[in-house]
A and B are shown apart, each in its own frame.
Chain A
Amino acid sequence: MRLDFERGTIAVEGDDSLVPHTTWDERANTDRALGFRYREIKDYLDTSEVEYEDNVLNLVPSPELTSEIELRGYQQQALNRWLSERRGVVVLPTGAGKTYVGIEAIDEINNSTFVVVPTLDLVDQWKSELQVFNLPIGEYTGRQKTIKSITVSTYDSAYTHAEKLGNRFELLIFDEVHHLASEGYRQIAELFASPFALGLTATFEREDGKHEVLGELLGGKIYEIETEELTGEYLSEYTVERITVDLTSKERKAYDKNVETFRKYLMSTDITMRSPEDFQKVVLRSGNDPEAWRAVRSRNTARQIAYSSESKLDELATLLEQHRDDRIIIFTRYNDLVYDVSNRFFIPSITYTTKKSERQHILKQFKNNTYNAIVSSQVLNEGIDVPDANIGIILSGTGSNREYRQRLGRILRPSGDTAHLYEIVSSGTGEIRTSTRRKS
């Protein structure tokens, strides 16, 4: 019997005996299984003492991989748990040093490793952390494609190129592994034959329940420690304050008018707004119903008024005055609002369109205290190594529990003092509801 790696799959040739997880492929006259079944197939063949030729892995040559990192107690505990199966997900709060657990896993496996992360910022961050191995680190992304014994990639690039990368690495590490559960990305794990895999995240559970699939793909959650257990010793404490502001009278008028248009349309139909899906029904109709189209437009305008209200910016001015001597990070979802804030208050801004050099410059200037405030849209949401800040201000938000926690995580850096988080919302708008829902 012979096992080959073919574009993300294991081709099993030359025997009639049934190998688990394989299907007959008449297109190529061979039995075939998804790449990630490799370890199970191998185990099965070894236990049933079937002789086979194994051509699956074609590992990137790797020198000795050693790092000299001291793990904290809970990090060591997480690593030990992982080492028993060499599969599974470790859940640690943001700021608790997930990356170090990953680095020590590489040290233990001591062979070629592929690290998958959600954003280019995280690629940069991992590459810089991985310097501890004293080796050139590879990068496989849209901007660069070099393969080294340790290679860092994004979910998008890994998804697109999994077929050709799937047999080159002994260990797979997924940072922010909750992303892997999505319908598309889970195929990354399926197409890799790597026998060992580690998932890292601060937020294992997904609202859509899809994290369940990680069990089969990676071995499920094997270690978790809560923020509360680390607060004090490893993470700083923080307070949360919600500030509601009224729309200006002009905004209020425009807001009410638009909401009215939307409501009137709803009343003329059988649609009740209970969830985002209900709104999608209206959107679907807007293609052939001018009224629906107008309703959608009005609703979007109303939302925009609420999110980017003048009063919010006035309130922000007050907060900024109050925290002149603090280190502040401002979040908002809307890029337009980022620029409004940046332009009105002269606060450096980072969005997904900000060039890498400028972004690094801004973060550096913030780190060395030349700047003491930053405003950003979602790019800072996940994992990026943001310099310590003790004030967070959220100008708008979505209803996602995960996002809320990770945004908090930004300022949960052990900086000594207690941190403050403010959330500014417009009163009498749909936003209030989102914010309440999220807290629960």
Chain B
Amino acid sequence: MLTKELLEVTKRKPKINPRYRDIDKYQSVATHVLDAYESGQTKKQIDETIETLETHDTFKLVRGLSKLLDRRAKFEQQFPVDPSKLRNAVFTHGFVTTTDQREQVLATVGDEFELTPNEIESNLWADRDDHAVLRSEPEITPCELLRQYNISLTQTLLFDAIELKFSVSDNFQEIFRLISYLGLMYTVDEDLTVTVTGPTSLVKKTRKYGTTMAKLIPHIMKPSEWNLTAKIETDVNGDPQIYEFNLDSTSADYFPAKTVSNSFDSEVERDFATRIRTLIDGWTINHEPTILRTEDRVMIPDFSFERDTTEFYLEVVGFWTPEYLREKRRKVNYVKSEHPIILAVDESLNCTKSDFDEANVADVFFYTDQIPVKPVMKRLHAIDERKTKDDLEWLYEREISIAHGEIIDINALAGSHDVEPAAVEMYLDDIYDGVISKMKFIPDTALSEIEAEIDALDNMTLADVNPILKKYDVGQDILEEMGYTVNYISLNQNEAKIVRSE
């Protein structure tokens, strides 16, 4: 972060933007500033060199870069005698008004400390910051320095923020922990945009929390996708005016590249993740995948299991303080989720199932020591089946019908009614005559057409039949359904004979 007087912005009502510096274009400026930080130079010498680099276009940039480098550089003071002791000795002689008197005092004090008058003169102020000598040069590339500068500008702009909105694709745990650690408050919209304010913000618009909000910025920028909007209050001719600031991950190149370190809350969770990943196929497992809205805060489920259109969350309740448990129960009672949630509860917490009666979750199971994989799998499937059953009922109720005699794409039909494909499969199989192959329903009429075409062939080898199957986009499995058998003589398809089953 930089001080406000180093902030450069462009304002065009209602937008405000920091003046970000292009990494390529200003690389040479950053290089010159870095070069000024040469080992052995005093702070004052460095400052003087820096000043010569300033132009009307870059003076704030140059000062800003220099500020950032001052924090990274190591300065050191050196002197033979503590300068404050020298000063005291000098001042004790009373003030001087002529150069002669002055020389005299320097000489007297010099005798006292066994130093020459010149040495006294040059060490008298050696403990001032200006006199400190650069010992180790800042280790940073010009490009990285510019990126640091750009993110610092963003944070400095935020000092005057009265509200910050953001949405991110990842890093939820880190961000929300920081929000509550910093004593900020938030609301979450249905589209999961988070609005951050401070406790008093609802009573009065205040910039008090701006500096605190600025601390969130590096964490918001970590995920691969992010965007933020802030309301910035700035004085225009003495009157406060509100401007809007927008930024998103398409500008990520301007800022330092950081990645989300996805750490687990506990060994128990890490261990579970490792074991279940090797076991289940076809499911995608994500750790802390999203935020879910609850009454007045968010819940970050520990895991999500995703396959096709089906998704489940697993929340592990494995911490031990009563406050934590109370909070967790409040969260799961009010959670709003599009997908079912399963709770895995540590048995040592001494909870019973009834403790979670009001929880808005699909299922609760208990574990000791480690979270078992099996019940999770079983419950995932059970919920899967239950959903299929619900959908099936729905299809029966609506008496969904299909065009007569046409081959039906089951996934498409399921998609158009927003139901599970498995439910459509069962439903069609039950009320229409036909077979299912490659997620297609082939009614008997269509089946007869295919059968007729096959029967009309002179030579019924697999090689001859395949083009017909391909035409209808169905699999070889329907041959059996139609009462054929494929007799393989060799691996050569031309030799595989299709015959009517007995």
Tell me the A residues contacting B by CB distance below 8 Å.
6-9, 23, 25-29, 32-34, 159, 163, 184, 187, 190-191, 277, 286-290, 292-294, 317, 320-321, 339, 343-348, 353, 355, 358, 361-362, 365, 370-373
Q: Hey, what's the 0/1 contact readout for B2-14 against A, CB within 8 Å counting as 1?
A: 0000001000000
- What 8 pairs between A and B have smallest CB-CB spacing? A293-B56, A290-B56, A7-B199, A317-B97, A348-B91, A345-B95, A347-B95, A27-B185
Q: Hey, what's the 0/1 contact readout for B93-105 against A, CB within 8 Å counting as 1?
A: 1111110001001
Tell me, yes or no, whether B296 is within 8 Å of chain A by CB: yes
Q: Which residues does chain B contribute within 8 Å of A345, judged by CB atoms?
A: 95-97
In angstroms, Cα B98 to Cα A345, docked, is 8
Q: Hey, what's the 0/1 contact readout for B360-385 against A, CB within 8 Å counting as 1?
A: 00000000000000000000000000
21 sample A-B contacts, Cβ–Cβ < 8 Å, listed by A number: A8-B200, A9-B200, A25-B202, A26-B187, A27-B296, A29-B295, A187-B206, A190-B200, A286-B56, A287-B8, A287-B56, A290-B55, A292-B56, A343-B124, A345-B95, A345-B96, A346-B91, A346-B94, A346-B105, A353-B128, A372-B95
Select which of B87, B105, B199 is within 8 A of A8 by beta carbon.
B199
B202 touches A346 (CB 8 A): no
Given contacts A27-B187, A163-B183, A348-B87, contact A373 B95 (CB under 8 A): yes
Tell me, yes or no, whether B157 is within 8 Å of chain A by CB: no
Q: How far is the CB of A41 from chain B (nearest CB, A)?
A: 13
In angstroms, Cα B202 to Cα A294, docked, is 45
Tell me, yes or no, whether B191 is within 8 Å of chain A by CB: no
Q: How far is the CB of B27 from chain A (nearest CB, A)?
A: 20
In angstroms, Cα B200 to Cα A34, docked, is 7
Select which of B97, B125, B207 is within 8 A of A343 by beta carbon.
B125
A187 touches B208 (CB 8 A): yes
Q: Which residues does chain B contribute within 8 Å of A286, judged by CB atoms?
A: 56, 59
Tell me, yes or no, whether B141 is within 8 Å of chain A by CB: no
A346 touches B125 (CB 8 A): no
Residue of A nearest to B109 (CB): A346
Q: How far is the CB of A352 from chain B (nearest CB, A)?
A: 12
In angstroms, Cα B197 to Cα A28, docked, is 12
Q: How far is the CB of B463 from chain A (nearest CB, A)?
A: 70
Q: Which residues does chain A contribute within 8 Å of B203, judged by CB atoms?
A: 9, 23, 32-34
Q: How far is the CB of B2 from chain A (nearest CB, A)?
A: 15
B105 touches A7 (CB 8 A): no
Q: How far is the CB of A267 from chain B (nearest CB, A)?
A: 19
Q: Which residues does chain B contribute within 8 Å of A371, judged by CB atoms?
A: 91-92, 94
Q: Hey, what's the 0/1 contact readout for B199-224 against A, CB within 8 Å counting as 1?
A: 11011101110000000000000000
In angstroms, Cα B84 to Cα A358, docked, is 7
In angstroms, Cα B88 to Cα A277, docked, is 43
Tell me, yes or no, whether B238 is within 8 Å of chain A by CB: yes
Q: How far is the CB of A379 from chain B (nearest CB, A)?
A: 16
Q: How far is the CB of B477 from chain A (nearest CB, A)?
A: 57
Residue of B nearest to A314 (CB): B97
Select which of A184, A347, A353 is within 8 A of B207 by beta carbon.
A184
Interface size class of B (residues with CB under 8 A): 35 or more
Q: Which residues does chain A contribute within 8 Å of B95, judged by CB atoms?
A: 320, 345-347, 372-373
Select which of A28, A292, A293, A373 is within 8 A of B185 by beta carbon.
A28
Given contacts A28-B296, A163-B199, contact A346 B56 (CB under 8 A): no
A339 touches B125 (CB 8 A): yes
B97 touches A287 (CB 8 A): no
A29 touches B296 (CB 8 A): yes
In angstroms, Cα B92 to Cα A371, docked, is 6
Q: Which residues does chain B contribute within 8 Å of A339, judged by CB atoms?
A: 125, 128
Q: How far is the CB of A209 from chain B (nearest CB, A)?
A: 12
Q: Which residues does chain A contribute within 8 Å of B237, judged by CB atoms?
A: 277
A353 touches B129 (CB 8 A): yes
Tell me, yes or no, whether B90 is within 8 Å of chain A by CB: yes
Residue of A nearest to B102 (CB): A346
Q: Hey, what's the 0/1 contact readout for B69-111 against A, CB within 8 Å counting as 1?
A: 0000000000000001001101111111110001001000000
In angstroms, Cα B60 to Cα A365, docked, is 42
In angstroms, Cα B204 to Cα A345, docked, is 53
Q: Hey, what's the 0/1 contact readout for B168-196 against A, CB within 8 Å counting as 1?
A: 00000000000000010111000000000
Tell me, yes or no, whether B57 is within 8 Å of chain A by CB: yes
Q: How far is the CB of A283 from chain B (nearest CB, A)?
A: 10
Select which of B55, B94, B125 is within 8 A of A372 by beta carbon.
B94
Tell me the B residues contacting A by CB distance below 8 Å.
8, 19, 55-57, 59-60, 84, 87-88, 90-98, 102, 105, 124-125, 128-129, 183, 185-187, 197-200, 202-204, 206-208, 237-238, 295-296
Select which of B57, B91, B206, B295 is within 8 A of A288 by beta carbon.
B57
Q: Which residues does chain A contribute within 8 Å of B238, judged by CB atoms?
A: 277
Residue of B56, B59, B98, B295 with most partner-chain A CB within 10 A: B56
Select which of A9, A26, A343, A370 is within 8 A of B199 by beta carbon.
A9
Q: How far is the CB of A390 from chain B (nearest CB, A)?
A: 16
Q: Which residues does chain B contribute within 8 Å of A8, judged by CB atoms?
A: 199-200
In angstroms, Cα B237 to Cα A420, docked, is 40
Q: Which residues does chain A contribute within 8 Å of B206, judged by CB atoms?
A: 187
In angstroms, Cα B60 to Cα A362, docked, is 37
A32 touches B202 (CB 8 A): yes
Q: Which residues does chain A contribute within 8 Å of B204, judged by CB atoms?
A: 34
Residue of B nearest to A190 (CB): B200
Q: Which residues does chain B contribute within 8 Å of A34, judged by CB atoms?
A: 200, 203-204
13 new A-B contacts, CB < 8 A, other than A184-B207, A191-B200, A293-B55, are: A23-B202, A23-B203, A29-B296, A32-B199, A32-B203, A33-B203, A286-B56, A287-B19, A288-B56, A292-B56, A293-B59, A317-B97, A347-B95
Q: Which residues does chain A contribute within 8 Å of B56, judged by CB atoms?
A: 286-290, 292-294
In angstroms, Cα B204 to Cα A64, docked, is 38
Q: How far is the CB of A142 from chain B (nearest CB, A)?
A: 14
Q: Which residues does chain B contribute within 8 Å of A370, judged by CB atoms?
A: 92
Q: Which residues does chain A contribute within 8 Å of B96, judged by CB atoms?
A: 345-346
In angstroms, Cα B59 to Cα A26, docked, is 46
Select which of B59, B97, B200 is within 8 A of A321 by beta carbon.
B97
Q: Which residues does chain A contribute within 8 Å of B198, judged by CB atoms?
A: 7
A361 touches B202 (CB 8 A): no
In angstroms, Cα B269 to Cα A161, docked, is 36
Q: How far is the CB of B141 from chain A (nearest CB, A)?
A: 26
Q: How far is the CB of A292 from chain B (nearest CB, A)?
A: 7
A6 touches B128 (CB 8 A): no
Q: Which residues does chain A contribute within 8 Å of B296, judged by CB atoms?
A: 26-29
In angstroms, Cα B202 to Cα A343, docked, is 54
Q: How far is the CB of A389 from chain B (nearest CB, A)?
A: 14
Q: Which residues does chain B contribute within 8 Å of A289, judged by CB atoms?
A: 56
Select which of A191, A320, A365, A372 is within 8 A of B97 by beta carbon.
A320
A287 touches B91 (CB 8 A): no
In angstroms, Cα B88 to Cα A187, docked, is 43
B197 touches A346 (CB 8 A): no
Q: Which residues does chain B contribute within 8 Å of A7, judged by CB atoms?
A: 183, 198-199
Q: How far is the CB of A33 from chain B (nearest CB, A)?
A: 7
Residue of A nearest to B186 (CB): A27
Q: Which residues does chain A contribute within 8 Å of B87, judged by CB atoms?
A: 348
Q: Which residues does chain A contribute within 8 Å of B57, judged by CB atoms?
A: 287-288, 290
Residue of B nearest to A345 (CB): B95
In angstroms, Cα B197 to Cα A32, docked, is 14
In angstroms, Cα B90 to Cα A370, docked, is 12
In angstroms, Cα B238 to Cα A358, docked, is 40
Q: Which residues does chain A contribute within 8 Å of B186, judged by CB atoms?
A: 27
Q: Which residues does chain B contribute within 8 Å of A33, judged by CB atoms?
A: 203
Q: How far is the CB of A365 from chain B (nearest CB, A)?
A: 7
In angstroms, Cα B87 to Cα A343, docked, is 10
Select which of A26, A187, A346, A353 is within 8 A of B90 by beta carbon.
A346
Q: How far is the CB of B411 from chain A (nearest CB, A)?
A: 42
Residue of A nearest to B240 (CB): A183
Q: Which residues does chain B contribute within 8 Å of A6, judged by CB atoms?
A: 199
Q: Which residues does chain B contribute within 8 Å of A353, judged by CB atoms?
A: 128-129
Given contacts A23-B202, A346-B96, contact A361 B88 (CB under 8 A): yes
Residue of A nearest to B121 (CB): A343
In angstroms, Cα B238 to Cα A380, docked, is 29
